[in-house]
Amino acid sequence: MKKNHIIFIGALFGFLSVALGAFGAHALKESLTPELMETYKTGILYLMIHSIVLVAIGFSGIEKYFKSSYFFLAGIFLFSLSLTIYSITGIKCLLCSLRLAEHHL
């Protein structure tokens, strides 16, 4: 992946984390249980952290770190977004990836 692609993807997910955070704070506040709201907040927090790291990797310009961006993207999809989508929809299948990760740790 190229430097500009990593920065763009990180910025895009950063924007998504802010937008989803605002959506959760205003639109989902009344409709989610306190437990699901905490799950939602955790997903958004880790989405933001992963986004910041992606942007930092891109701006570093150190090519040997560029491949690690794939792992951060996997973390976004397997952890952050699965928590966020689960808390909104209640689809428990999305948590399968998290349970697999727990068993390997």
pLDDT digits (tens, 9 = 90+) for 25-84: 998 888 889 999 999 999 999 999 999 999 999 999 999 999 999 999 998 988 888 888
Q: Given this model, what pLDDT does residue 4 score?
A: 92
Q: Given this model, what pLDDT does residue 17 score?
A: 95
Domain that holds residue 8: 3-104
Residue 39 near residue 86, CB atoms below 8 Å: yes
Enter the tokens of residue 61: 């310009």
Residue 10 near residue 52, CB atoms below 8 Å: yes
Number of domains in the chain: 1
- How many other CB atoms are there within 10 angstroms of residue 85's CB atom? 14
